[in-house]
């Protein structure tokens, strides 16, 4: 099988390519990525020279480039996106361009090339926000209620993907998953930002009262969920994917990280809240468990600790990433 992976130089895409190459020795992969600030070929340097792997530098909004890359492709796994909520608040336009228009360009090419499966990687953020302390969870029937430009652009892309299934019969599947963590995550996101700041002796910025709740999913569990959906998921269906059973607040996560890193809570710095900050996310992943036999295998505490070790052992990777544009972004975001 030949797969086209969009956004494969980013966090989840790179983890997925490494996972797939390892578990599917007869398959080949084309990694199609624009290499924005978030794309980093260092993530895939172990694949250099591998005849089953090809990299194409391209923009998913560029129809002719996408068309060429799709030649002979059976399956598309679409990760490419502008993915950071805070950046979408400062500058929404690239989110609309990449996440909505880019997805539509890919869908058109997929129809033309008669691909056997178009898998769209989406987020729980399209469902909006849940009440703190409620027992409610997002599931596949939850009404869409995106509340940030990022979430709205992902919601738009989900609707387009579904529309191409209904209108053109394109065999699509969608996963809406929660916050991933693990190796190669860009240190603008909460967990790698906290770990790398602590290693550098800096404070960890916590938005508002810190009582916001996210569901955390180890990235390899996410990769396995996508694998199962590609193998046995039903065209036209959506699957929610999550990692935890109990709520944990951002402060709870930081307390775990500081404890695991031998620091006290004086590293925490409460900063101005994110506008429109979603209070709580929680995911009901019983459909993918029931229908495809998936469940998260990696428990949060052990894999958070292993993630900390990865950042400690890969300082060159994130120190390089934290230079240049990152410094400008950090100053603008945190003052």
Sites of contact with ligand TDX (CB under 6 A): 83-85, 123, 125, 179, 189-190, 193, 205-207, 212, 214, 250, 274
274: which DSSP letter?
P
Helix (H, G, I), strand (E, B) or coil at 138: strand
Using rule CB under 6 A, residue 223 touches ligand NAD: no
Give the separation between CA 183 and CA 14, rounded to whole angstroms.
10
Sign for the CA dihedral angle at 307, 312, 315, 318 comes to: positive
Q: How far is the CB of 264 from ligand NAD (least distance, A)?
A: 28
Half-sphere exposure of residue 124: CA atoms within 13 angstroms, side-chain side: 27
Using rule CB under 6 A, residue 118 touches ligand NAD: no
Give the separation between CA 123 and CA 176, rounded to whole angstroms.
4
189: which DSSP letter?
S
Could you give the angle at which helices 11-23 and 219-232 cross, rounded to 10 degrees? Answer: 60
82 is catalytic: no
Q: Which does 212 bind (CB under 5 to 8 A by kind): ligand TDX, ligand NAD, none?
A: ligand TDX
Helix (H, G, I), strand (E, B) or coil at 98: helix
Q: How far is the CB of 326 from ligand TDX (least distance, A)?
A: 13
Q: Which residue from 104, 56, 81 is spatially nearest to 186, judged by alpha carbons?
A: 81
124 is catalytic: yes
Stretch that binds ligand NAD, among 77-85, 195-203, 254-262, 304-312 (CB under 6 A): 77-85
Phi, psi torsion values for 73, nearest 5 degrees = -85, 135
281 is catalytic: no
Using rule CB under 6 A, residue 47 touches ligand NAD: no
Stretch that binds ligand NAD, among 35-43, 111-119, 232-240, 286-294 (CB under 6 A): 35-43
Q: How far is the CB of 132 from ligand TDX (least distance, A)?
A: 12
Note the residues at the interface with ligand NAD (CB under 6 A). Answer: 6-7, 9-13, 33-36, 38-39, 59-61, 79-83, 98, 102, 121, 123, 154, 177, 179-180, 186
* Residues classed as catalytic: 124-125, 150
């Amino acid at each position: 099988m030949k797969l086209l992976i969009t956004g494969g130089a980013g966090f989840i895409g790179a983890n997925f390519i490494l996972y797939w190459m390892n578990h599917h020795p007869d398959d080949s992969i084309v990694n199609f990525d624009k290499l924005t600030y978030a794309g980093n070929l260092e993530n895939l340097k172990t694949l250099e020279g591998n005849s089953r792997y090809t990299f194409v530098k391209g923009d998913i909004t560029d129809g002719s480039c996408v068309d060429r890359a799709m030649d002979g492709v059976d399956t598309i796994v679409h990760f490419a996106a502008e993915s950071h909520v805070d950046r979408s608040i400062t500058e929404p336009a690239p989110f609309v361009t990449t996440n909505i228009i880019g997805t539509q360009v890919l869908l058109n090419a997929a129809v033309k090339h008669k691909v056997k499966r178009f898998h769209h990687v989406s987020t729980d953020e399209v469902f909006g926000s849940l009440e703190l302390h409620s027992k409610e969870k997002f599931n596949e029937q939850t009404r869409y209620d995106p509340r940030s430009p990022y979430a709205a652009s992902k919601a738009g892309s989900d609707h387009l993907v579904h529309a191409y299934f209904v209108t053109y019969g394109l065999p699509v599947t969608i996963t809406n998953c929660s916050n991933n963590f693990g190796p190669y995550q860009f240190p603008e996101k909460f967990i790698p930002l906290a770990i790398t700041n602590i290693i550098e002796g800096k404070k960890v910025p916590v938005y508002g009262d810190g009582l916001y709740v996210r569901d955390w999913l180890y990235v390899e569990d996410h990769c396995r969920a996508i694998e199962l959906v590609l193998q046995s998921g039903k065209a036209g269906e959506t699957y929610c994917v999550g990692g935890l059973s109990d709520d944990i607040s951002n402060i709870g996560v930081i307390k775990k990280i500081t404890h695991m890193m031998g620091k006290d809570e004086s590293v925490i710095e409460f900063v101005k809240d994110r506008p429109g900050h979603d209070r709580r996310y929680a995911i009901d992943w019983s459909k993918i468990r029931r229908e495809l036999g998936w469940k998260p295998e990696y428990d949060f505490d052990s894999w958070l600790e292993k993630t900390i070790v990865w950042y400690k052992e890969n300082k060159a990777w994130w120190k390089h990433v934290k230079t240049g544009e990152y410094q400008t972004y950090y100053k603008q975001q945190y003052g």
